[in-house]
Amino acid sequence: MTNPRRQPLGERIRSELEGRIVSGDWPPGHRVPPEHALMEQYSCSRMTVNKALSGMAAAGLIVRRRRAGSFVADPQGERAVMKIQDFASEAAQRGLVYTYDILSRRVETPDQAHAAALGLHPGSSIVRVRSLHRMNGVPSAYEDRIISLAAVPAAQEERFHDAPPGTWLLHNVPWTEAEHVIRARNAGARLAAMLGLKPAAACLVLERRTWHQGALVTVVTITYPADRHRFTGRFSPTSGA
Amino acid sequence: MTNPRRQPLGERIRSELEGRIVSGDWPPGHRVPPEHALMEQYSCSRMTVNKALSGMAAAGLIVRRRRAGSFVADPQGERAVMKIQDFASEAAQRGLVYTYDILSRRVETPDQAHAAALGLHPGSSIVRVRSLHRMNGVPSAYEDRIISLAAVPAAQEERFHDAPPGTWLLHNVPWTEAEHVIRARNAGARLAAMLGLKPAAACLVLERRTWHQGALVTVVTITYPADRHRFTGRFSPTSGA
DNA sequence: TATTGCGAATTGTATAGACTATTGACAAGC
DNA sequence: GCTTGTCAATAGTCTATACAATTCGCAATA
Q: Using the CB atom, is residue A138 less than 7 Å from strand D?
A: no
Does A98 lie in the same domain as A172? Answer: yes
Q: Which CATH number fits the domain that encloses residue B65? A: 1.10.10.10
Q: Using the CB atom, is residue B70 less than 7 Å from strand D?
A: yes
pLDDT attached to residue A36: 95
Is residue A1 in a domain? no
The predicted model gives A7-35 an average pLDDT of 88
Does A135 lie in the same domain as A30? Answer: no
Q: Using the CB atom, is residue A6 less than 7 Å from strand D?
A: no
Is residue B104 in a domain? yes
Of the candidates B82, B229, B234, the beta carbon closest to that of A233 is on B82
Q: A179 and B233: CB-CB below 8 Å? A: yes
**Nearest partner of B203 among B228, B180, B186, B188, judged by Cα:** B186
The SS3 assignment for B128 reads strand
Q: Using the CB atom, is residue A210 less than 7 Å from strand C?
A: no
More confident residue, A210 or B93: A210
Is residue B235 in a domain? no
pLDDT attached to residue B1: 42
Residue pair B160/B131 in contact by the 8 Å Cβ criterion: yes
Question: Which range (A142-146, A207-211, B128-132, B140-144) has the least confidence?
Answer: A207-211
Q: Which chain B residues are within 8 Å of A51, Cβ to Cβ?
A: 51
pLDDT band at B18 (very low <50, low <70, confident <90, very high): confident
pLDDT attached to residue B240: 43
Is residue B123 in a domain? yes
Does A188 lie in the same domain as A115? Answer: yes
pLDDT attached to residue B238: 59
Q: What percent of chain A has pLDDT over 70?
A: 90
pLDDT band at A83 (very low <50, low <70, confident <90, very high): low
Residue pair B78/A240 in contact by the 8 Å Cβ criterion: no
Is residue A32 in a domain? yes
Q: Using the CB atom, is residue A68 less than 7 Å from strand C?
A: yes
pLDDT exceeds 80 at position B50: yes
Q: Which CATH number fits the domain that encloses residue B93? A: 3.40.1410.10
Does A68 lie in the same domain as A84? Answer: no
Closest residue in B to A203 (Cα–Cα): B184
CA of B158 vs C1' of C4, distance in Å? 65
pLDDT exceeds 90 at position A103: yes
Residue pair A230/A172 in contact by the 8 Å Cβ criterion: no
Q: B235 and A55: CB-CB below 8 Å? A: no
The predicted model gives A170-197 an average pLDDT of 88
pLDDT band at B126 (very low <50, low <70, confident <90, very high): very high
Residue of A84, A186, A210, A227 to mutate for B, most B C-beta atoms under 10 A: A186
pLDDT attached to residue A75: 64
Is residue A92 in a domain? yes
pLDDT, tens digit (0-9, with 9 covering 90-100), for B55-112: 999 888 899 999 999 999 876 443 444 555 778 877 877 889 999 999 999 999 999 9
Query: Using only C-alpha atoms, what is the Rg of chain A?
Result: 21
Is residue A59 in a domain? yes
Q: Name, in order, each residue with C-beta under 8 angstroms of A162's C-beta and a sequence gap of 6 or more.
A: A168
Does B66 lie in the same domain as B95? Answer: no
Q: Which chain B residues are within 8 Å of A226, Cβ to Cβ?
A: 183-186, 202
pLDDT exceeds 90 at position B213: no
Does B146 lie in the same domain as B29? Answer: no
pLDDT attached to residue B176: 72
Does B126 lie in the same domain as B51? Answer: no
More confident residue, A97 or A212: A97
Distance from CA of B13 to the nearest CA of A (A): 14
3-state SS of chain A is CCCCCCCCHHHHHHHHHHHHHHCCCCCCCCEECCHHHHHHHCCCCHHHHHHHHHHHHHCCCEEEECCCEEEECCCCCCCHHHCCCCHHHHHHHHCCCEEEEEEEEEEECCCHHHHHHHCCCCCCCEEEEEEEEEECCEEEEEEEEEEECCCCHHHHCCCCCCCCHHHHHHHHCCCCEEEEEEEEEECCHHHHHHHCCCCCCEEEEEEEEEEECCEEEEEEEEEEEHHHCCEEEEECCCCCC
The span from the CA of B197 to the CA of B213, in Å, is 39
CA of B68 vs C1' of C27, distance in Å? 20
Does A144 lie in the same domain as A67? Answer: no
Looking at the DSSP bridge assignments, the partners of residue A231 are: B182
Provide the 10 A C-beta neighbour count for residue A63: 17
Does A128 lie in the same domain as A90? Answer: yes
Out of B34, B54, B72, pick the residue that ends a domain. B72
Closest residue in B to A240 (Cα–Cα): B59
pLDDT band at A119 (very low <50, low <70, confident <90, very high): confident
Considering A5-9, A52-56, A58-62, B166-170, the range whose residues carry the highest mean pLDDT is A52-56
The SS3 assignment for B170 reads helix
Residue pair A80/B179 in contact by the 8 Å Cβ criterion: no
pLDDT exceeds 50 at position B209: yes
pLDDT band at B46 (very low <50, low <70, confident <90, very high): very high
Q: B230 and A176: CB-CB below 8 Å? A: no
Does B195 lie in the same domain as B128? Answer: yes
Q: Using the CB atom, is residue B67 less than 7 Å from strand D?
A: yes
Question: Which range (A50-54, A56-60, A160-164, A201-205) has the least confidence?
Answer: A56-60
Out of A72, A89, A121, pick the residue that ends a domain. A72
Q: Name the residue range of residue A24's domain.
A: 9-72
pLDDT band at A74 (very low <50, low <70, confident <90, very high): confident
**pLDDT, chain A, mean:** 87
pLDDT attached to residue A78: 39
Does A45 lie in the same domain as A95? Answer: no
The span from the CA of A20 to the CA of A156, in Å, is 25
pLDDT exceeds 60 at position A66: yes
Distance from CA of A95 to the nearest CA of B (A): 21
The span from the CA of A46 to the CA of A56, in Å, is 15
Contacts by residues A103-107 (CB-CB < 8 Å, ≥ 24 positions apart): A103/A130, A103/A131, A103/A132, A104/A128, A104/A129, A104/A130, A105/A129, A105/A130, A105/A159, A105/A160, A107/A149, A107/A156
Does B177 lie in the same domain as B145? Answer: yes
Out of A35, A56, A72, pick the residue that ends a domain. A72
Is residue A101 in a domain? yes
pLDDT exceeds 90 at position A201: yes
Count how many domains chain A has. Answer: 2
pLDDT exceeds 70 at position A145: yes
Question: Which range (A169-173, A229-233, B40-44) has the least confidence?
Answer: A229-233
Residue pair B134/B142 in contact by the 8 Å Cβ criterion: no
pLDDT exceeds 60 at position A241: no
Q: Which chain A residues are within 8 Å of B231, Cβ to Cβ?
A: 181-183
